Structure formats: C-alpha cells, structure tokens
Structure 1
Amino acid sequence: MRKLIKGDEVVVIAGKDKGKRGKITSVIFDAKKGDKFLVSGVNMIKKHQKPNPQAQVVGGIIEKEAPIAVSNVAIFNPETNKGDRVGFKTNEDGTKVRIFKSTNKVIGE
C-alpha cells in the first residue's frame, strides 16, 4: 500500500509553489530518478508546441503541469487545514488502512 495515491488532495511543502493545493492526477514511478506526481494546478510550465495537422494539434505556447517530487508534497488534512504525514493501521478484520499521523483518523472517510 502506498502512502499517497491518485485522487488524494495534497499540499506543496517545498519549492516555487509552496502552499498550493491540488489533487494527484497521476503517479510516475521511476527507480533511478525517484517517484513523482502530477498535481492539478501545481508546477505549471510553458511548452512551445509545434502544430501537427495529422494529430489535430494546434501550435503555440501551452501551459501544462510538470511532475513534482514525492518529497515536496504532503497529504492535506481537512481537519487541521495543514499538510500531514501518513501512517498505516490494521483493522480487526485484517484490512490495512491509511491514517493521518496527527489525528489518527482514517484517510478518505
């Protein structure tokens, strides 16, 4: 079980977008460079795109999200309105769940 998954709301804790919040749209696994997330509305870059009539792509300068390192984000805790750490707990029925470290509440409930 991973600490952060697609769909989690996270807050940026380091870098140029420190303090911004967004949802994880995709997870990029890379053993050499480290895992990264694509977070909606965070770490926006401008990309010069060439037009391609075969793929119906218009040219120009587009804005898109760039990957952000796992270490630079923390899960957002709506109870405390801050970033939080993730822990794990095993229920009585044997299922493993993620919890907020500060409040010991289950994530996603």
Structure 2
Amino acid sequence: MEKKVKLPKHKFHIKTGDIVLVIGGNSKGQRGVVKEVIVEKDRARVEGVAMITKHLKPTAQNPQGSLEKTEGSIHISNLMVVDPTTGEPTRTGRKLNEKGKLQRFSKKTGNFIPDGGRK
C-alpha cells in the first residue's frame, strides 16, 4: 500500500531565511531567523526560539549520554514576518514586481520583501 503524500493547502507567508517575530505561545515576543519550514505540518523552526531539551542515549563515542538543546517547531500562524527596511512586524501580500514575477510585499510600507537566505 502506498503512503499518501499530503500536499500543502496554500503558499506560506514565511520562507527560509526570513526574520520573524513570534506572536503567540511560550516564546511570544522573540525574534529569530527561520531555519526550516516544515510544509507537511504547517510549522517552522526558528533559530534560538522554542528551545527543547533532547536526551541522547549513551553510545560508544559518548558513553555518558547527554542533554542537547535544539529548536522546536512553531506553527506558521504564530509567526509574523519582520519588514527588513523598518524592522517592524508586518502582514504580507503578493504582487507582480518589475520583472513580472509574483513577489511578497509588506502591507505596512508597500516595499517588496527579498527572499531570505534561499538558494
């Protein structure tokens, strides 16, 4: 039996490399850079935000075992893009740029939001 792949319901307002503000949850008010967007679960990992502790089992290389702090994921709805020109959080929209390509823009200032550190 083949496993069904869940397709995204819509495009996200957040991309990898964006600076975002957390607007809900335990990490409310913190800012960080998006490291990864988990499309299947509508979640994102943000650098230095929503830290969780992982318990690592003892291995041959690490006979003592250890505790590792890593970023947990945050639901996309709890994140807001920070406008790179003003440094304030903003809602985003999409419109055609000069080259005729659909690009995100800040609804507060009207400026286009450059794609973060994406390749």
Tell me the TM-score range normalised by the shorter chain.
0.7 to 0.9
CA distance in 1, matches of 2:88, 2:26: 18
Segments of 5+ residues of structure 2 without an aligned counterpart are 1-10
Identity percentage of aligned residues = 38
Query: Aligned residue for 1:3?
Result: 13
Whether 2:32 is the aligned partner of 1:22: answer: yes
Paired residue for 2:90, among 84, 93, 101?
84
RMSD of aligned Cα (Å): 1.9
Name the structure with the higher strand share: 1
**TM superposition shift of 1:93:** 3.4
Tell me which stretches of 4 or more aligned residues in structure 1 moved more than 6 Å. Answer: none
Whether the 8 Å contact between 2:84 and 2:113 is mirrored in structure 1 is no
Whether 2:58 is the aligned partner of 1:51: answer: yes
CA distance in 2, matches of 1:92, 1:21: 31
Count residues with an aligned counterpart. 104
**TM superposition shift of 1:78:** 4.0
More contact order relative to length (CA 8 Å, sep ≥ 6): 2
Calculate the TM-score normalised by the size of structure 1: 0.84
Segments of 5+ residues of structure 1 without an aligned counterpart are none
